[in-house]
Amino acid sequence: MKTTPNNSKNKDLKGLKHQIEYLDFITWIATPSALRIPKTQQELSKKFGVGQDTLSEWKSRHDFWKRVAEKRKKWGQERTPDVIMALFNRIIKTGGAPEVKLWLQYFENWSEKIISIEPPLRKYADLSDSELDARLELLKAAVQKR
């Protein structure tokens, strides 16, 4: 039985016996389970000619899940045009599509624009009579200059 070397937590692929299979395993894990061929990890280990323990060790590598996330994101981005079309169709029928919003946030790094309106530092009710008089005089002077 073939296994990965003991240094399987290295960041790069140096010293990894089955580099191509490792990269193919990353792609397989990043693929939705309904679309995976073969369907099970056990079948995949047989196809690769490695033990299931090797696949489990690969999941422990430092870079494994980061690479899976990158592949999964690419998989989703390639399907975004179809999601946009589904959004269009859904909007026409129902007027809303929160699940598409989530898709765009995840796969396209889209975010809503948040506008924050800060309240005035002091409300006029909190001003003293003399402060109000001073502001009124400033306002009168500004109007006279026009």
Q: Could you tell me the residue ranges of all domains in the chain?
A: 19-76, 78-108
Per-residue pLDDT tens digits for 110-145: 888 777 776 665 567 778 889 888 888 888 888 887
pTM over 0.85: no
pLDDT tens for each residue of 49-106: 999 999 999 999 999 999 999 999 999 999 999 988 888 888 778 766 787 787 788 8
Nearest to 4 by CA among 49, 71, 69: 49
pLDDT (0 to 100) of residue 10: 44
In order of 13, 54, 86, the CA distances from 44 in angstroms are 20, 11, 33
Report in angstroms the alpha-carbon separations of 113 from 46, 73, 110, 116, 117: 49, 23, 10, 10, 13
Q: What is the pLDDT of residue 5?
A: 47
